[in-house]
Structure 1
Amino acid sequence: MKSTIAPTQYRLGAAELEVLLAMVRTGTLAAAGERLGVDASTVFRAIQRIERGLGQPLFERSRAGYRASELTKALAEQAERVEAALEAARTAAQAQPEQITGTVRISTTDTILHGLIAPALQQLQPQHPALAYELHAGNELVSLTRRDTDIAVRATKRPPQHLVGRQLGMVRAALYTAATSPLALSDVEAGHAAWIAPDDALPDHPSVRWRKKRFPKAQPTYRVNSLLTVMELVALGMGVGVLPIFLAQARSDLRPLTGSLADCETELWLLTHPESRHLRRIAAVYGHLAETVQMP
């Protein structure tokens, strides 16, 4: 498409931003249409209309899908702010005079629950004292499609396309030892350290993949089914382990042996089902988490 100067009369609206955000999040017309509740051809026509209005292409088309341009990524960031503002506005409009009641079911992992979600809910509770919470901490992805949960907070680079949500930032990790341990990274590289690592309950965890790539001969001395347990055993001086920085940095009994490990980075997503996101009890909690749980 030939690039020209955008007509001065063209103005992006909330509907156009919603289309662009759906395309950036999904990468295909069909998946974006499913999020928006329209067919793929409607999404295609909407993108064409926006591109004509702006006078430049917004996506690079390929067999793999639609790849967003830098301008489109910038517009998507603004669209996420609009989305969050609308969520907050809906919550504020519904907060009075009727009190928000009911139960909100939240699914996440133990580390995210203890390090991020619980502190955020503690702040929210005085605002909505009649709300109750069912908190599921597990490594399996509880299904929002079957309504097993209302809100999911997950570390993933591939959030399910049928859900709506927003990225809260990046989860970063480093290799840690106990604060009192004399171990240095060179000791680990020489094979003089015991490893504490997730067991088969987390076979594809980024920390497992990183260890096998960086230290292929290292065999964990302790295998556990929880990253919280990895952290506690490391703090006791029983070995080294890869831990989320957001959780470990608050502990005075832990000491990092490395900086942030690029291979262990992943995205943190706040997810819910499109049909339930505007329910008052879910919107209140979703909006609060979107505002308060922010990763660097």
Structure 2
Amino acid sequence: MIAKLQYKLTASDLELLLALVRGGTLAQAGTRLGADASTVFRAVQRIEKGLSQRLFERSRQGYLPTDAMHAIALHAERIEAELEAARAATLRGGDDVSGRVRVTTVDAVLRGLVLPCLPALAARHPLLQLELHTTNELMSLSRRDADLALRATTGKPPDHLIGRLLGHMNFAVCAGKALPPALRKRPLGQQDWIAPDQAMPQHPSVVWRRKALPKVAPRHLMDSITSVVDAIRSGLGVGAIPVFMLPLEPQLVQISEPLQGCVSDLWLLAHPESRHLRRIAAVYDHFATHIRPS
């Protein structure tokens, strides 16, 4: 008898499987691939049948990769990175840094630290394209939905990512010039406070306020730090914001010293499989040189 030939994974198979690993559902994988969920479903069934092994566990949460699929995904990511490097090298003979770099960060860091340093980066690398996203989810980098992450954290980042500590972010209580001077001088415990909402219970400013001013209940809750800044500027009350934002906010007045015990570390993070790519390395090095939170 002639032994049945072993199924050979193709580049298209790897692209589809990687999309399902990152998306977690047939619908999300289809969106990434520009296909419908039924097409992804049939392809996964075909691949699993050909390999004679299950690559995903089906659950209410979606498609969970097995150990075998995790191993395949690592190889698929390396191939993806090499293809991206090859494509970039074909542009202008590979002499210029080019291509798209996806950056994820939080809103305050984007407004106060990232955007001010981008004109110099754009002038130095005119063929470079940046895709900027603000989110509190670090998993987007782990799933390779982003190439770089700028993350504010009070702890060490995950071990599977490589990165650099850019500095420490201090916070201070600020008021808007629209708030009458007499009201700005009131004790902090008697102010109308503007603060992040329940979606950010561990934000350094929230933790500090609960310890330092336990009787204060914020009058206005916002869904982001930049929204807190905007509300303070309008004269609604006071709030604790990163000190690095003050140079960009001439309508704000700092009414406290930097708050003791209210600090966060800013990390620049990348995936080890793609950190070496020229386009990613160029942005990484630029951020590491020009972003100083304190």
Q: TM-score range by the shorter chain?
A: 0.5 to 0.7
Pairs within 5 Å for 1:55-66: none
Amino acid in the other structure paired with 1:135? L
SS at match of 2:104: strand
Shift of 1:143: 2.9
Pairs within 5 Å for 1:194-273: 194-273=192-271
CA distance, structure 2, for counterparts of residue 144 and residue 252 of structure 1: 34
Match of 1:53 in 2: none
SS at match of 2:133: strand
Shift of 1:99: 1.8
Calculate the TM-score normalised by the size of structure 2.
0.64
Once the two structures are superposed, residues 2-50 of structure 1 have per-residue CA deviations (whole angstroms, 9 ceiling, x without a partner) of xxxxxxxxxxxxxxxxxxxxxxxxxxxxxxxxxxxxxxxxxxxxxxxxx
CA distance, structure 2, for counterparts of residue 135 and residue 272 of structure 1: 15
- Check if 1:113 corresponds to 2:110: yes
Match of 2:187 in 1: 187
Shift of 1:150: 0.5
- Check if 1:149 corresponds to 2:146: yes
Shift of 1:186: 4.3
8 Å CA contact 2:113, 2:293 repeated in 1: no
SS at match of 2:249: coil
Match of 1:170 in 2: 168
What are structure 1's unaligned runs of at least 5 residues?
1-94
CA distance, structure 2, for counterparts of residue 249 and residue 259 of structure 1: 16
Amino acid in the other structure paired with 1:200? Q
Once the two structures are superposed, residues 45-66 of structure 1 have per-residue CA deviations (whole angstroms, 9 ceiling, x without a partner) of xxxxxxxxxxxxxxxxxxxxxx
8 Å CA contact 1:142, 1:149 repeated in 2: no
What are structure 2's unaligned runs of at least 5 residues?
1-91
Calculate the TM-score normalised by the size of structure 1.
0.64
Match of 1:104 in 2: 101
Shift of 1:105: 0.5
Distance 1:153 1:120, change over 3 A: same
Shift of 1:139: 2.1
Shift of 1:248: 2.1
Once the two structures are superposed, residues 140-185 of structure 1 have per-residue CA deviations (whole angstroms, 9 ceiling, x without a partner) of 2243221011000011132112111111111010011122432346
Distance 1:241 1:96, change over 3 A: farther
Distance 1:185 1:263, change over 3 A: farther
Amino acid in the other structure paired with 1:241? G
Shift of 1:262: 2.2
Once the two structures are superposed, residues 251-275 of structure 1 have per-residue CA deviations (whole angstroms, 9 ceiling, x without a partner) of 2211112111122111111110111
SS at match of 1:152: strand
Amino acid in the other structure paired with 2:130? Y
Match of 2:6 in 1: none
8 Å CA contact 1:150, 1:282 repeated in 2: yes
Match of 1:20 in 2: none
Pairs within 5 Å for 1:4-83: none
SS at match of 1:172: strand
CA distance, structure 2, for counterparts of residue 238 and residue 122 of structure 1: 33
For residue 293 of structure 1, the aligned residue among 282, 291, 294 is: 291
Report the identity percentage: 44
